[in-house]
Structure 1
Amino acid sequence: MMLSLVLLALIVGVSLWLVLSPLGAGVPGDPDAPERERLTAERDRLYGELDTLTDERRRPDLERRAALTLRALDALPPAPPPANRAGRTRRLALAGVGLAALVTVAGAVTFVPRWQLAALSPREAQTVQNSLALPELRRRAEASQSAADSLAWGKAAFDSGLYDEATRAYAAALRLDPRQPEALRRLGILLLNRPARGGGELSEEEAGQAFLLIRTAAQLAPDDAESQLFLGFALSQFGQDEAALTALERYRTLNPSGRDADETITAIRARQNQADPGLRVYAANCASCHGANGGGGALGPSLRVSNLSRDGLRQIILQGKGAMPAYPDLKPDELNALLDVLERWQKEGE
């Protein structure tokens, strides 16, 4: 930033020197003034004689001499402007240069960054803007000791990927108000992911504290998509796959366009499929409609609240019902494993 300002100052200085140097030389004299005055007086004298002419025999000669005089005047270089006019020109030029310099500086401060940001994606541009705003946000938060200002500081740092600074900001916000869902969940996920950022392994106590922060945030803001996303991540890391899938599917419901949970859901399903043949069958045939853990999806209802008997479930699976297609090609052991999963979910409920 400082280098850009120095270069800008250098460019403006050179431009001012180039423009103002000719103006500083003053108004030059008119070396042709005597001849110009003589020809002007001759022209006026000839015009006077033509106006009062009584002898028409002289007219051709007077007109010829007047034309030669005008031609001689036209051949002279233009006369320089009067001194007062040159001063006015200089003032206008100075004003124009000053205005140009002001516009140039304003453009460098405001427009140039926008031109640079236009080449970035919206997310990258927002990251750059957050980074530029961080010093002022930090100063304001430290001066005001306001939870809202600390949250704004933390959000800008977190969204810019400056996680150590985000940790300080969110910790400050929680000291001022401990019931801040955003600060709770983001501080928790930063702590939980510290080893992945090269910050050293977590102790069991630290891991428990991180999980508590994230779970508390989800309890305070159950309809916040990020709360459910982070809760799903945390539950997955603690091996609670069923609860993690519930939270991550909830995230998808709250944020249908969000793709941040896809990899975790895929990993959980892969783990479950390896351990449980019934879940393998469910993932391959049912999850796309009924959700990853049977809690309901975009098309199919929740299977956890079903009160159908095992025989009733078997009949619908093999024959289909309504919008649900039939799956008559399932092998007996695959069908029985799937029914075991559905009955277990019925007992667990939502």
Structure 2
Amino acid sequence: MILGVVLLALIVLVSLWLTLEPLRAGSPADPDAAERGRLTAERDRLYAELAALEDEGRRPDLERRAALALRGLDALPPAPPPAGRAGHTRRLALLGVGAAALLTAAGALTFVPRWQLASLGAGEAQVVQNALALPELRRAAEASGQSADFLAWGQAAFDSGAYDQAVSAYGSALKLDPRQPEALRRLGILLLTRPGQPGQEISAGDAQQAFLLIRTAAQLAPREAESQLFLGYALARFGQDEEALTALERYRTLNPSGRDADETITAIRARQNQADPALRVYAANCASCHGADGGGGALGPSLRASNLSREALRGVIVNGKGAMPAYPGLKPAELNALLDLLERWQKEGE
């Protein structure tokens, strides 16, 4: 009995050391935290004022200030992970090791108590619950043979990272009904990215099949944010940057709080800026309001639908108009390159 207790204590101590040692390094501080917080608060305050605005005479000024706040946020480098994440992870690790020791001692290894889930964040708890529900969801789907049950199994498997099960579940659902956007796009993205299979190259045939699945899902459900997100990923993978930006901007419109497209949009803009000086000027000064591809954004109208002459565009850019701020500091070469780009977009929009 004493030997068993000693062995259990050693196991717990070793588990603690192995779990916490990789977490000792702290997260770097965000040097722009104060400015980021100020701009975010300013943006949210201005959005709230615009939503409740009664005096339309104030709208241009409020929209101009909101645009400046958005440009300021876009100009800041990405924030490092929150400093408290390591400490939170340590607490979770301690809780997990302690729970494992308690469950081992009690012999109750077949359940996860509710108080353990309560210590997790909402997203983490949902992942755990999805993983725990997988066996029952799989049995229910295979027993009923119903499309809805296969979709429920596939969703839980995909969200918890059990991608092999997700492929099986979504594949079975599509055999019953081939026009299911969630199953189509998630099968497509799994085929295209091959999570859990690093270093394995995708064949040209598989890549085309994956793209077809994702595009079909976006056609069936264009108003679902995930459809546009995955379509943007796929288009970027095939080098169709303009179309990818359009899809990813639609994702942002459909899901304003979603941040999953940020890195891809940043990478695409960086590629474009290196290849085209006009796009570099546009991305630095215009994209935050008018959208990455000039199709319109949260505050600015579509530049592709504009019918202003070159001289009229020059006057608006240099002097500003309404809610749009002025950009008198642009160099002549930058201004002319930007005007060439806007005229090209106008012709494409005709």
Q: Which residue of 1 aligns with 2:335?
A: 335
Q: Answer whether contact 2:163 2:195 (CA < 8 A) is retained.
A: no
CA distance in 2, matches of 1:4, 1:131: 21
CA distance in 2, matches of 1:123, 1:131: 13
Distance of aligned partners of 1:115 and 1:196 in 2 relative to their CA distance in 1, 3 Å threshold: closer
Q: State the Cα deviation string for residues 18-58 of structure 1 (Å, max 9, x = none).
A: xxxxxxxxxxxxxxxxxxxxxxxxxxxxxxxxxxxxxxxxx
My pick for the range that moved more, 217-226 or 190-199, is 190-199
Q: Which residue of 2 aligns with 1:252?
A: 252
Identity %: 77
CA distance in 2, matches of 1:328, 1:313: 13
CA distance in 2, matches of 1:196, 1:274: 32
Q: Which residue of 2 aligns with 1:15?
A: none
The two structures have a TM-score, normalised by structure 2, of 0.68
CA RMSD of aligned residues (A): 2.3
Question: Is the partner of 1:197 in helix, strand or coil?
Answer: coil
The two structures have a TM-score, normalised by structure 1, of 0.68
Q: Please identify runs of 4+ aligned residues in structure 1 that moved more than 3 A.
A: 1-9
CA distance in 2, matches of 1:338, 1:164: 48
Q: Answer whether contact 1:195 1:201 (CA < 8 A) is retained.
A: no
My pick for the range that moved more, 333-342 or 212-221, is 333-342
CA distance in 1, matches of 2:273, 2:258: 24
Q: Which residue of 1 aligns with 2:266?
A: 266
Q: State the Cα deviation string for residues 38-96 of structure 1 (Å, max 9, x = none).
A: xxxxxxxxxxxxxxxxxxxxxxxxxxxxxxxxxxxxxxxxxxxxxxxxxxxxxxxxxxx
Distance of aligned partners of 1:327 and 1:2 in 2 relative to their CA distance in 1, 3 Å threshold: closer
CA distance in 1, matches of 2:169, 2:157: 8
My pick for the range that moved more, 289-298 or 195-204, is 195-204
- Matched to 1:264, the amino acid is T
Is 1:123 the counterpart of 2:116 in the alignment? no
Question: Is the partner of 2:113 in helix, strand or coil?
Answer: helix
CA distance in 1, matches of 2:313, 2:101: 72
Is 1:193 the counterpart of 2:193 in the alignment? yes
Unaligned runs of 5+ in 1: 10-104
Structure with more contact order per residue of length (Cα contacts < 8 Å, sep ≥ 6): 2
Unaligned runs of 5+ in 2: 1-98
CA distance in 2, matches of 1:174, 1:202: 22
CA distance in 2, matches of 1:113, 1:316: 63
- Matched to 2:295, the amino acid is G
CA distance in 2, matches of 1:2, 1:325: 59
CA distance in 2, matches of 1:245, 1:264: 9
Is 1:346 the counterpart of 2:346 in the alignment? yes
Aligned length: 252
TM-aligned CA deviation for residue 305 of structure 1: 0.6
Distance of aligned partners of 1:196 and 1:305 in 2 relative to their CA distance in 1, 3 Å threshold: farther
Alignment of 1:116-265 (within 5 A): 116-194=116-194, 197-198=197-198, 200-265=200-265
Distance of aligned partners of 1:265 and 1:328 in 2 relative to their CA distance in 1, 3 Å threshold: same
Q: Which residue of 2 aligns with 1:47?
A: none
CA distance in 2, matches of 1:334, 1:200: 43
Larger Rg: 1
CA distance in 2, matches of 1:196, 1:8: 34
CA distance in 2, matches of 1:196, 1:165: 13
TM-aligned CA deviation for residue 250 of structure 1: 0.3
Question: Is the partner of 1:306 in helix, strand or coil?
Answer: coil
- Matched to 1:126, the amino acid is Q
